[in-house]
């Protein structure tokens, strides 16, 4: 059985017992709730820890603290906010080994992936601190228009107030932090609901943040399942913005109850790779395997299907088969050299298997993998996948390479754009004008040339269209999403300082 080993540093965040019960962080205090639920480690499909589950009263208290404390962060000079985040960033790095170990155990991540998530989080914090200095306004002279000739205006950015961040299981540490940092840097208080499946690493970070001096009530973490931690939390009137990363179905539901409050929705995708006649096929195969198998395919920017033109199709199949060995599959707790571990749960593995079997029943050929045990789904290669297969259209979120044959570039674009998703795509070609045509035609928020989609530290902004969401995620773009513009108008005419309109040259 996998054990949760936490140093004395984190003794405040859990209640001791046969299984550690993690607390929530509300109003600057660690609180044990009455209700709880189990955390199952996907590495052995057994109970790993217990997590507090908030009640409506707990949520009301958290929101009240956030509302009452928002002035603490808003009134703090921007340079102080930057220095607070930097202090946190430096302190957090001391606990990298502890957090990485927890990510491996609670999320089933390969150690390399867990380390990459931690490193990306630290880098994202650094980049966000730099970009927060660009929260500036605009001066507009009014004398360019006759009705405002004696006025000037400043357009400034203001914090929204209370930001609620809801994060997914695939990057529980990074995505949660990617909501906290821009919210605080832009002067908002923030409540984070990390994923129910694997919230522990982020709770550890919250403890570090508490110790470096984040003001009580400004930053809070709640955990829970069901309607209380879902609908009741997201519909609370004290929350001014909801930043959600997760499934399209849940995102649509949040949008339906959000009303006029601002939402930032980073939802599902069907990452489509188009491989044209003159592509570097070895590069394409290597990148497609990486895009399909990294984090066991549990990424919104994963390569979810490949559209290859007839001329290079068979050659690409052979190269994909060769690169299947690029990833070592196994238990990341038992073998640190493993580069692809389990999916998040046995139910997830079962869902993936149903999609694979559906494709085979409709004519697809299974060249590798296609089996699972507990949470471990084998790296899988499906070829000749028909367009009416579920896996050709639905988000896979698992380690399956799905290869579809198309006649030419035009058909590839047509098939790609029929998807209800519009997050990421790629095109592999050596011809600039073909690349430009495809990249312009694809109805997606992000498209990559000669590389698999990858959001990384979000230095390049990303965000979807259609059922993939709304808003842009990124180093500076996240800060923009968490602020609003205010126009301040000065009537200089009252002090005889404006430029009075004469009308002498009017026709």
Separation between Cα atoms, residue 216 and residue 290, nearest integer Å? 42
Active-site annotation holds for 334 = no
Closest-CA residue to 447 (of 238, 300, 221, 273)? 273
Is the pLDDT at 358 greater than 90, yes or no?
A: yes
The torsion angles phi and psi of 474, rounded to 5 degrees, stand at: 165, 170
Separation between Cα atoms, residue 48 and residue 21, nearest integer Å? 10
DSSP-assigned letters across all residues of 340-387: B---S-HHHHHHHHHHHHHHHHTT-EEEE---EETTEE--EEEES--T
Identify the bridge partners of residue 47 per DSSP, sorted by sequence position.
40
> What mean pLDDT do residues 329-357 have?
98
Q: Cα angle vertex 13, ends 8, 19, to 5°? A: 85
The torsion angles phi and psi of 385, rounded to 5 degrees, stand at: -75, 125
The answer to whether the beta carbons of residues 218 and 184 sit under 8 Å apart is yes
> What mean pLDDT do residues 313-332 have?
97
| Burial class, 222, CB count within 10 angstroms (exposed 0-12 / middle 13-18 / buried 19+) | buried
The per-residue pLDDT of the chain, averaged, comes to: 96
Dihedral over Cα of 295, 301, 304, 307: its sign: negative
Separation between Cα atoms, residue 479 and residue 210, nearest integer Å? 22
What is the CATH T-level fold of the domain 55-135+159-267+472-485, as seen in this structure?
Aldehyde Dehydrogenase; Chain A, domain 1 (3.40.605)
The torsion angles phi and psi of 273, rounded to 5 degrees, stand at: -105, 130
- As a whole number of Å, the CA-based R_g of the chain is 25
> Which residue is catalytic, options 50, 117, 266, 473?
266
pTM of the model: 0.96
pLDDT over 90 percentage in the chain: 93
Terminal Cα-to-Cα distance of the chain (whole angstroms): 86
The residue with greater pLDDT, 87 or 136, is 87
pLDDT at residue 506, rounded to an integer? 85
Token pair 């405040």 in the structure block, residue:
12
Structure tokens at 5: 């080993």
pLDDT at residue 328, rounded to an integer? 97
Question: pLDDT per residue over 4-55, tens digit each?
Answer: 999 999 999 999 999 999 999 999 999 999 999 999 999 999 999 999 999 9
Q: Picking from 65-74, 253-262, 401-410, which range would have the lowest pLDDT averaged per residue?
A: 253-262
pLDDT at residue 154, rounded to an integer? 97
CA distances for 295 relative to 103, 156, 234, angstroms? 12, 41, 29
pLDDT at residue 67, rounded to an integer? 98
Separation between Cα atoms, residue 202 and residue 106, nearest integer Å? 11
pLDDT at residue 405, rounded to an integer? 98
pLDDT at residue 476, rounded to an integer? 77
Domain edges within the chain: 55-135+159-267+472-485, 272-449
- H or E stretch at 483: strand 483-491
> What mean pLDDT do residues 86-115 have?
98
pLDDT at residue 226, rounded to an integer? 75
Is the pLDDT at 254 greater than 80, yes or no?
A: yes
The torsion angles phi and psi of 100, rounded to 5 degrees, stand at: -60, -45
pLDDT at residue 130, rounded to an integer? 85
Q: Picking from 208-217, 376-385, 497-506, which range would have the lowest pLDDT averaged per residue?
A: 497-506
> What mean pLDDT do residues 120-129 have?
94
> What mean pLDDT do residues 207-236 have?
93
> Which residue is catalytic, options 117, 300, 395, 473?
300
What is the CATH T-level fold of the domain 272-449, as seen in this structure?
Aldehyde Dehydrogenase; Chain A, domain 2 (3.40.309)
Number of C-beta neighbours around residue 501 at 10 A: 15
pLDDT at residue 134, rounded to an integer? 78
Active-site annotation holds for 288 = no
What confidence tier does 227 reach under pLDDT thresholds 50, 70, 90?
A: confident
Structure tokens at 290: 């990486």
Question: pLDDT per residue over 397-447, tens digit each?
Answer: 999 999 999 999 999 999 999 999 999 999 999 999 999 999 999 999 999
């Amino acid at each position: 059985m996998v054990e949760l080993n936490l140093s004395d540093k984190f003794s405040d965040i859990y209640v001791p017992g046969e299984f550690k019960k993690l607390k929530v962080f509300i109003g600057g205090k660690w609180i044990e709730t009455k209700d709880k639920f189990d955390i199952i480690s996907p590495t052995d499909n057994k109970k790993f820890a217990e997590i507090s589950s908030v009640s409506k009263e707990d949520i009301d208290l958290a929101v009240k603290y956030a509302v009452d404390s928002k002035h603490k962060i808003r009134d703090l000079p921007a340079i102080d906010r930057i220095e607070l985040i930097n202090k946190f960033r430096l302190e957090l790095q001391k606990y990298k080994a502890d957090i990485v170990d927890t990510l491996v155990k609670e999320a089933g991540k390969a150690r390399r992936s867990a380390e990459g998530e931690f490193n990306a989080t630290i880098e994202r914090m650094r980049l966000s601190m730099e970009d927060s200095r660009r929260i500036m306004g605009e001066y507009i002279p009014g004398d360019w228009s006759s009705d405002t000739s004696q006025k000037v205006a400043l357009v400034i950015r203001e914090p929204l107030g209370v930001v609620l961040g809801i994060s997914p299981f695939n990057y529980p540490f990074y995505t949660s932090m990617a909501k906290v940092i821009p919210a605080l840097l832009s002067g908002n208080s923030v409540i984070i609901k990390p994923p129910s499946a694997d919230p522990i690493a982020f709770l550890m970070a919250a403890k570090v943040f508490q110790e470096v001096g984040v003001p009580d009530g400004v930053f809070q973490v709640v955990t829970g399942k069901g309607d209380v931690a879902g609908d009741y939390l997201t519909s609370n009137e004290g929350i001014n913005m909801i930043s959600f990363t997760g499934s399209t179905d849940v995102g649509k539901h949040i949008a339906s109850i959000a009303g006029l409050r601002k939402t930032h929705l980073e939802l599902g995708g069907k990452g489509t790779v188009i491989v044209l006649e003159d592509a570097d096929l070895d590069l394409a195969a290597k990148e497609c395997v990486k895009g399909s198998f990294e984090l066991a395919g549990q990424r919104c920017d994963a390569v979810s299907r490949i559209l290859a033109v007839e001329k290079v199709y068979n050659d690409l199949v052979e190269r994909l088969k060769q690169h299947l060995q690029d990833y070592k599959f196994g238990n990341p707790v038992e073998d640190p050299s493993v580069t692809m571990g389990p999916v998040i749960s046995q139910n997830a593995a079962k869902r993936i298997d149903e999609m694979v079997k559906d494709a085979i029943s409709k004519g697809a050929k299974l060249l590798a993998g296609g089996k699972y045990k507990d949470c471990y789904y084998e790296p899988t290669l499906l070829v000749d996948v028909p367009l009416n297969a579920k896996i050709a259209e639905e988000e896979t979120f698992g380690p399956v390479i799905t290869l579809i044959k198309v006649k030419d570039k035009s058909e590839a674009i047509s098939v790609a754009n029929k998807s209800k998703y519009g997050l990421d795509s790629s095109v592999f070609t050596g011809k600039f004008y073909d690349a430009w045509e495809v990249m312009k035609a694809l109805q997606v928020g992000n498209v990559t040339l000669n590389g698999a989609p990858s959001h990384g530290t979000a230095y390049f902004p990303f965000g979807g269209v259609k059922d993939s969401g709304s808003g842009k995620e990124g180093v500076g773009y996240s800060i923009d999403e968490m602020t609003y513009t205010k126009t301040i108008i000065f009537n200089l005419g009252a002090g005889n300082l404006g430029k009075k309109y004469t009308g002498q040259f009017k026709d």
